[in-house]
Amino acid sequence: MDARLTALQQRLGHGFAKPELLSRAVTHRSFSSDHNERLEFLGDAVLSLAISALLFERFGGSDEGDLTRVRAHLVREDTLHRVAVVIGLPEVLRLSEGEARGGGAQRPSILADALEAIIGATFLDGGFDPARTLVQRLFGEVIVSTDIDSWTKDAKTELQEWLQARRLPVPSYRITSTRGQAHAQTFEVECAVPALSLAETGEGRSRRVAEQEAARRMLVALKASDKPGSALRS
């Protein structure tokens, strides 16, 4: 095996019984027909399961929505890109000359895909336990340092998702009044859900804050009305 791939194995903490899997995992489609896209497909699913299991253990008191949001943060491209750089993937990627000259070894999408492919290769090489151990090694510090409250949705996002889940149109916002001098204004914003003939207002030192407060009040009203026996459900 190439010395660079041997060194990569050491950084990963997994010695491949089938080293050709690792070689394929770092091979971009521009380099060879025996490239990493199928491994990437598999690795995406393995990564999601492993991260889900780690979050389930780490945040025992959190609900499905919070865990889903943190998982989405951990498996998105920019997070995978950062991890790929830390373990030195740019130095071992197999790219065509043209792709390499174009900066492919530093491209976030290529690096993220290669990292997922490595996770998929590890799963094929040794099963789920080694793959889970690898994911824990790569993402463990991020998970431990994560404050799940920081990924809680803001009121406007939660309101939009609440309505969309019930196939209702998104709310509208409009400034109904402003008070005070230009450098210290207070905004009043109305949040309306015309489909339900509902409107709530909120105030704040900026339009954004006022919109969030109006959305929060709308959520409170909607959730109260969504209880069994309410008019909204009838």
Q: Which domains does the chain have, with CATH numbers?
A: 3-148 (1.10.1520.10), 155-225 (3.30.160.20)
pLDDT at 95 over 80: yes
Catalytic residues: 44, 116
Query: What is the edge-to-edge ordering of all strands in the sheet holding 186-193?
Result: 172-179, 186-193, 198-204
Per residue in 30-67, pLDDT (tens digit) is 999 999 999 999 999 999 999 999 999 988 888 887 78
d(CA 57, CA 59): 6
d(CA 213, CA 173): 11
- State the maximum Cα–Cα separation within the chain, in Å, rounded to a whole number: 71
Per residue in 142-164, pLDDT (tens digit) is 888 777 766 666 789 889 989 99
d(CA 104, CA 90): 9
Between 151 and 82, the higher pLDDT residue:
82
